[in-house]
Chains A and B, each alone.
Chain A
Amino acid sequence: MGINLLGGIRLRKIDNIEKNDILEIRPPEVYSVPVLCSKGYPVEITVKVGDKVKDGSLIAKPTQSKGAFVYSPTSGKVVSIVEKFTPVGIKCKHVVISNDNKLEEHTFSEIAEKTPQELLKRLAVSGIVDANYGGSPTYLRYTLSAIEKKFTLYVIMSNTDPYLSANEALTIHRTAQVVGGAKYFAKLLASEQIVFVFTGRARLARKTLVQYLKKNEPQLKYKIKLISNNYPSDNIALLNERFKEKKGAFVETFGKKAFVEDAITCYSYFNSVEYGKPCNYRTITISGNNIIRKGNYIVKNGTSFGHILEVAGVINKDQSFKVLNGGIMMGFAEYTTDIASNPETQSINFVDDREYNVAEESPCINCGKCVLACPMNLLPNKLDDLCTRRKTFDAERFGIKSCIECGCCSYVCPSRRYLTQRISVTKRQLKGGEQ
C-alpha cells in the first residue's frame, strides 16, 4: 500500500500449499459452537437443549447493538449448552450440536434489489467476523455515516506470514467469489476503484486475478498495489496505527480515507449475498512442520481442534509439539485440543521445536538488530531493560504502547532475549493500571 516499512523481517515461505485446491474438512459428529467473538460482546442464545436445527439456522443473536449473529454449522440436534474456553482463552458458552448428516440447509431470502442499504443489512446479519481487527464483527465498521462516501476499498489478497496462505489460495481457486465480494463492498462504499493488495512474492495469485479480471470484468476499475515481503507489512494493526483516522474504522492512505478488507471476508460476503449462505465457516490454513495433509480448508464454526488434528494427521506423535491458533509469529499456543474453531481463527499450525531453537537467555550485547527490525520505530532493547527494572513510566515515555507485538525483535535477537514477551506483559500492566 505504498507504506514504507522501517523494519520487518524476511521470512522464507516454506511450502506452496496455496497451489492446492481448497477442501472442505470431513464433518465431525459433534460441533461445539462458541457464541462469542473475542472482544466479549454479550449475545443471547435463541435455542434450547433438544431443539432441532438446520445448517445455517440462527442459534445466538446480539443483545446490544454490538456483537455478532451466530449460525448453526450443521443440521442436527442441540445436545447441551456448556461453558468452555475459546481459542484465545476467554470462557464463554458453547452450544453443542450433534450432526445428523441430513444436510438440511437454511438460507437467507434473496436480495431483490442490491442497494447499499440492503447490502449493509445483509452484512449485519451474515455473521461475518474480522480476524484482522481483533475479532469484532465486520458490520461495526460500516456505519450508515460511512457508506456511500466514495472511500477507497483495499482488499488484502496475500499475507506475509509463511504459515498463512488462505487469502492467497482463495484468490487462486475462488477468484470469482472473491472479486464478487469485493464488488459488493465497493458498492456499499460507492468507491470508484478497488485496490487489490499483494505481497511481492504472491505471483501466481496476482497473475490469476489479472487474467480473470481481463476476461470477465473489463469494466471494473481496479488497481494492484504491491507491499513488501517483509513480515508484518500486511498487519492491519500496523496500518491502522500509522494512518488511523478513527479507531478501528478507517485507514487513510495517500490522503484519502479507505477501508481494508481481506479475501476471506470478501468470499464469505459474496456467499451470503448471492446464495444467502450465513457465515458459519471460515477458510483456515492448516499447516506446520509436524503435519501430513497441509492445506487450506473450509472449516465449519465449532469444529474442535482435536478433530482437525485427526483429519490432518501428525507426523511425530510421540514428541510433544505446539498447537497454534494463528500464525507462527503471533499465534496463541493451546494447552489442549478440546477447543473449537470460530470465525476469527486465521490458521491452525502444528509445529514442533525445530522451528524454535531453544537457548538460554544471555545478556543483551546492544547489537541493535531489534532496533532495525522493529516496524513501529521503537527501541526494543531499551524497553526490555526498562521492563526488567519495572520502570513502567519510562517505558511509556519510550512509546511502549505503540508496540503491536509482532515478534520481530524476539525473532532476530542473537541473545535469545524474551523481548516481545516482556514488553507485552508490561503493556498489559499499564492497561490494567489505567482502568
Chain B
Amino acid sequence: MKYLVSPAPHKNTRQTLNEMYIVVSLMLVCCLLSGYIFYGMNVLIIIASTLVSCLLFEFIFDMIKTKSAHFPHLSSVVTGLLLACIMPLNMPWFFGIFAAAIAIASKYFFGGLGNNLFNPAALGRLVLGVISVGFSYEYFGGQKTALDLILTGNKGELELAKLFTGEMAGAVGTTCIVVILVAMIVLMILKIIRWENIVFAGISFAGIVWATLGFEYILPMLLSGSFVFATVFMLNDPTSSPYTFSGRCLYSIAYGVIGAFVMLHGILGETAIFVALLICNMVAPMFDAFVSIFHRGVKKND
C-alpha cells in the first residue's frame, strides 16, 4: 500500500482563485444585463469588443512571457467585463480594443497577475477618456447623467427611485444600483470583497459631500457617477489594494476623500472616480509599508 507524504497542513479551503473570478464575472454579467435592458443592442457590441480583445491580449502577453500560452487564471475575463461596464454608450468598437490593450499591457509590464500597480480596467478607461473626451453618456431623449445634473444645479430633476433602478444616463453597467448592491451582498458572503473598504469609502465620501454641498446631496452623490460600482468592484481589487486591515482602512478613506474632491471640482464627469482610484492604487503599497511595522510577529519577552 502506498501512503501519500506531504508537509502540513493537510487541509485547505475550497475557494480557489478561478472560483473567485467566476463569481465576480457572474456579478458583472448581471450588471451588464441591466445595461442591456436600458440601452439595447449597443451594449452587446461593447461587451464583445472588450471581452474578446482582453482574452486575446492576455493570450498574446502570456505567450510572450511564458513562451507557451496557457490560461492559468480567468482574470482577463474580469478585466474585460469590468471595462465593458464602465464604457460610455456611444463608444466605437475599436476603442474597446485599444482600452483592452492598455489594460492588459499595464498588468504584464509590471510582471503579470498579482504584480500590477494599477487596476487594469480603470487605467484602460482613463487613457481612453484622455484621448477622446467626445463620448456621451446620454440616455434616449437627451437626458444628462445624474452627476451632471447635480453639478449644474439641476438637482430637482433627479428622481431617487430612478437612480436606484438605473433608468438613467451613465456608463453601461454602472447605473443600476439595485443589482450592484445585490452583487455586493453576494460577494461579501463569499468573502471576496471586504466590508471595511466599502464602509470607510462611503463614510469619507459622504463626509466630504456634506461639508461642501450639504446634507441633502449625500444620497444623490453616492448613487451617481459610478461611485457604487467602482467601490464594490474596483476598490476591492485585491492586487491593487493594501493587504493589511489597517492599510485597507486608510486606503479606502483616501479613496473616498479624493473621489469626492475630484468629482465635485473636476471636469472629468464619470471618469473622475477612476482618477481617484488610480491615485490610491499608486499609494497603496505605501499604506502597507506604514502599517507593516505593526506586523512583525508577537514580541518575545526574553
Could you list which residues of chain A lie within 8 angstroms of chain B, going by C-beta atoms? 11, 241-247, 317, 320-324, 326, 328-337, 351, 353, 355-357, 359-360, 362-369, 371-372, 376-379, 381-382, 397-403, 405, 407, 410-416, 418, 420-421, 424
Residues 7-47 of B, flagged 1 when their CB comes within 8 A of A and 0 if not, give: 11111111111011000000000000000000000000000
- Give complex CA distance A317, B13 in Å: 26
- Give complex CA distance A415, B245 in Å: 19
- Give complex CA distance A333, B4 in Å: 7
B9 touches A329 (CB 8 A): yes
CB distance from B182 to the nearest CB of A (A): 22
- Give complex CA distance A324, B8 in Å: 9
Given contacts A241-B298, A334-B5, contact A329 B11 (CB under 8 A): yes
A353 touches B4 (CB 8 A): yes
CB distance from B265 to the nearest CB of A (A): 32
CB distance from B231 to the nearest CB of A (A): 17
Q: List 7 A-B contacts (CB under 8 A).
A: A329-B8, A330-B8, A355-B10, A377-B296, A399-B296, A402-B298, A420-B8
B239 neighbours in A (Cβ, 8 Å) = 365-366
Given contacts A247-B302, A377-B296, A399-B296, 16 further A-B pairs with CB under 8 A are A320-B2, A328-B11, A330-B9, A333-B6, A334-B3, A351-B10, A357-B12, A359-B16, A365-B17, A365-B239, A368-B243, A368-B248, A371-B244, A376-B297, A376-B298, A402-B300
- Give complex CA distance A410, B16 in Å: 12
- Give complex CA distance A115, B251 in Å: 62
- Give complex CA distance A324, B6 in Å: 10
Given contacts A320-B4, A322-B6, A360-B72, contact A398 B12 (CB under 8 A): no
Closest 9 CB pairs of A and B: A399-B297, A407-B9, A402-B297, A368-B243, A367-B238, A363-B114, A399-B296, A320-B2, A365-B114
- Give complex CA distance A381, B17 in Å: 15
Listed residue (B20, B248, B297) with the most chain A CB atoms within 10 angstroms of its CB? B297
CB distance from A358 to the nearest CB of B (A): 9
CB distance from A348 to the nearest CB of B (A): 12
Listed residue (A326, A357, A364, A414) with the most chain B CB atoms within 10 angstroms of its CB? A414
Report which of A317, A326, A335, A367 forms a contact with B243, defined as CB distance below 8 A: A367
Residues 172-200 of B, flagged 1 when their CB comes within 8 A of A and 0 if not, give: 00000000000000000001000000000
A337 neighbours in B (Cβ, 8 Å) = 3
A365 touches B238 (CB 8 A): yes
B17 touches A411 (CB 8 A): no
Identity of the chain B residue whose Cβ is nearest the Cβ of A350 in the assembled complex: B3
- Give complex CA distance A247, B5 in Å: 32
A241 neighbours in B (Cβ, 8 Å) = 298, 300
- Give complex CA distance A331, B7 in Å: 8
B7 touches A411 (CB 8 A): no
Number of interface residues of B (CB under 8 A): 44
Report which of B15, B238, B301 forms a contact with A368, defined as CB distance below 8 A: B238
B4 neighbours in A (Cβ, 8 Å) = 320-322, 333, 353
Interface of A is mostly: loop
CB distance from B102 to the nearest CB of A (A): 20
CB distance from B25 to the nearest CB of A (A): 15
- Give complex CA distance A353, B13 in Å: 13
A368 touches B112 (CB 8 A): no
Identity of the chain A residue whose Cβ is nearest the Cβ of B299 in the assembled complex: A402
**Cβ of B113 under 8 Å from chain A:** yes
**Cβ of B292 under 8 Å from chain A:** yes
A244 touches B300 (CB 8 A): yes
CB distance from B58 to the nearest CB of A (A): 14
A401 neighbours in B (Cβ, 8 Å) = 297
B3 neighbours in A (Cβ, 8 Å) = 320-323, 333-337
CB distance from B194 to the nearest CB of A (A): 8
A321 neighbours in B (Cβ, 8 Å) = 3-4
Question: Which residues of chain B from 80 to 119 have any CB-CB distance to chain A below 8 Å in the complex?
Answer: 112-115
CB distance from A11 to the nearest CB of B (A): 8
Identity of the chain B residue whose Cβ is nearest the Cβ of A351 in the assembled complex: B10
**Cβ of B162 under 8 Å from chain A:** no
**Cβ of B295 under 8 Å from chain A:** yes
A328 touches B9 (CB 8 A): yes
- Give complex CA distance A399, B295 in Å: 8
B8 touches A331 (CB 8 A): yes
CB distance from B77 to the nearest CB of A (A): 15
